[in-house]
Amino acid sequence: MGSRVAVVGAGAMGEAIVSGMLAHGWRPADLVLAVRREEHAAALRASYGVEVTDALSAAAEADVVLVGVKPYDVAGVLAQIGPRLRPGTLVASLAVGITTTALEAALPEGTPVVRVMPNTPSQVGAGVAVISAGTHCDDAQLAVVDEIMSAVGIVVRVPERLQDAAGAISGSGPAYVFLAIEALVEAGVHLGLPRATATDLAVQTFVGASRLAAETGEHPAVLRERVTSPGGTTAAALSELEERGLRAAFIAATRAARDRSREIGD
């Protein structure tokens, strides 16, 4: 800690990061936020006691700038703040698909940059952020981004060539899980369960299974086999899922997400 961090574009993800940082010992004085709407700024000041200003002012006084806007807004924000950055200011982008090469090209020569792919469970402190360093970012600077993102979950460092693939798993992954929960709820309703009961059962089953996998560290196949008695109900259900191509569907889906991330970057 000790760095002055500016969050430009404090939407749901930016606000989650701010909340997590404050909960992990960062001081309100360590943070400055930049948002467009004054009513949003007022709400952030009231909720977190942090300074909220415009993007130029926030970037000019920061040691680290987190750019939390949509991919199509990144270029405009960088063009705006670039001339105001102090030498050595670290810039981290949270936008899907935007490469470190693109970030460096849009900023003053030698600016250290980091590409970050967070996911929505960061809003409840259970996220995962995939980070990759740019050409001018050293280990100490990457560690600063690691520390920031650790406030809302775990951090995984990967070579940038794997960023699009990693984002297809963790960045888009929550949507796959939500779809699976939704499908399981509908299945329960079709079996005669009240919707509220089916929802409780499905959501807590995903929570519990994920926690079991995380805390035991055992391979998912081992955990699955423990639930599956030969000739039992689970075996019958899994046979249907395999026959209908569940694994192939996941492979195709994540490939599509990876390819779309590359297209956005291009």
Query: Is pLDDT at 9 greater than 90 in this prediction?
Result: no
Residue 38 pLDDT class (50, 70, 90 cuts): confident
Q: What is the pLDDT of residue 1?
A: 60
Question: CB–CB of 6/65 below 8 Å?
Answer: yes
> Is it true that 5-162 and 173-265 share their CATH fold?
no
CA separation for the pair 183, 192 (Å, rounded): 14
CATH superfamily of 173-265: ProC C-terminal domain-like (1.10.3730.10)
Over residues 239-260, the mean pLDDT reads 97
pLDDT digits (tens, 9 = 90+) for 179-205: 999 999 999 999 999 999 999 999 999
Q: Provide DSSP, the chain.
A: ----EEEES-SHHHHHHHHHHHHTT--GGGEEEE-S-HHHHHHHHHHH--EEE-HHHHHHT-SEEEE-S-HHHHHHHHHHHGGGPPTT-EEEE--TT--HHHHHHHS-TT--EEEEE--GGGGGT-EEEEEEE-TT--HHHHHHHHHHHGGGEEEEE--GGGHHHHIIIIISHHHHHHHHHHHHHHHHHHTT--HHHHHHHHHHHHHHHHHHHHHH---HHHHHHHH--TTSHHHHHHHHHHHTTHHHHHHHHHHHHHHHHHHHH-
Question: Two tokens at 122?
Answer: 């960061």
Question: CB–CB of 111/89 below 8 Å?
Answer: yes
Q: Where are the domains of the chain?
A: 5-162, 173-265
pLDDT digits (tens, 9 = 90+) for 102-123: 999 999 999 999 999 999 999 9
pTM above 0.95, yes or no: no
For 66, 121, 145, 183, 187, the CA distances from 190, given in Å and listed in that order, are: 46, 29, 46, 11, 5
CA separation for the pair 185, 198 (Å, rounded): 5
The domain made up of 5-162 is a member of CATH 3.30.310.50: no
